[in-house]
Amino acid sequence: MLRLSLLPFAFAVVLLAIGCGGEPATEPTIAIHYSEFTPAVLEVPVGRPVTFTLRNDDPIAHEWIVGTPDVHDIHRVGTEPFHDERPTEVTIPPLSTLETTVTFAKPGDYAYICHLPGHEAYGMAGTLRVVEV
Ligand SMILES: [Cu+2]
């Protein structure tokens, strides 16, 4: 009896794990809590505007910076304390939500990382998969 009642739950977990085989997201939400991005891997389409909702549930500020390795190299040693001028570089104040819209011209995997001191080392990084649709 117990086994039967758990079956639908197990099925739902499998569906979540394979992302339901759906389209890449054009309006994804990335949540930040305990200095961690959720989801840590996200698939979006190339050549189409993608509006990211960035929700910071922590009582401290974080950054969401997405780009190629050279972009991250710059930000690892950068001194800009606040980002609000490029759609791919966003500072999210404590306990707040921001939106940013980006159209990715080239498919590939791009890291998104918080470059505030110590946050990347703590694990505050994710992967954005930009895919052909
Ligand atoms: Cu952070």
Ligand 1 center from residue 61 Cα (angstroms): 7
Ligand 1 center from residue 46 Cα (angstroms): 26
Ligand 1 center from residue 77 Cα (angstroms): 15
Residue-level pLDDT at 18: 44
Tokens linked to 27: 């309006």
What are the backbone dihedrals phi and psi of residue 81, each rounded to the nearest 5 degrees, phi first?
Answer: -80, -15
Ligand 1 center from residue 9 Cα (angstroms): 33
Ligand 1 center from residue 22 Cα (angstroms): 30
Domains of the chain: 24-131 (2.60.40.420)
Residue-level pLDDT at 93: 97
Using one digit for the tens of pLDDT, what is the confidence trace for 14-35? Answer: 444 444 557 899 999 999 999 9
Peptide bond preceding 93 in cis form (omega within 30 of 0):
no
The larger pLDDT score, comparing residue 6 to residue 115, is at 115
**Ion ligand 1 contact residues with beta carbon within 5 A:** 62, 114, 116, 119, 124
Separation of CA 23 from chain center: 17
Using one digit for the tens of pLDDT, what is the confidence trace for 74-121? Answer: 999 987 878 888 999 999 999 999 999 999 999 999 999 999 999 999
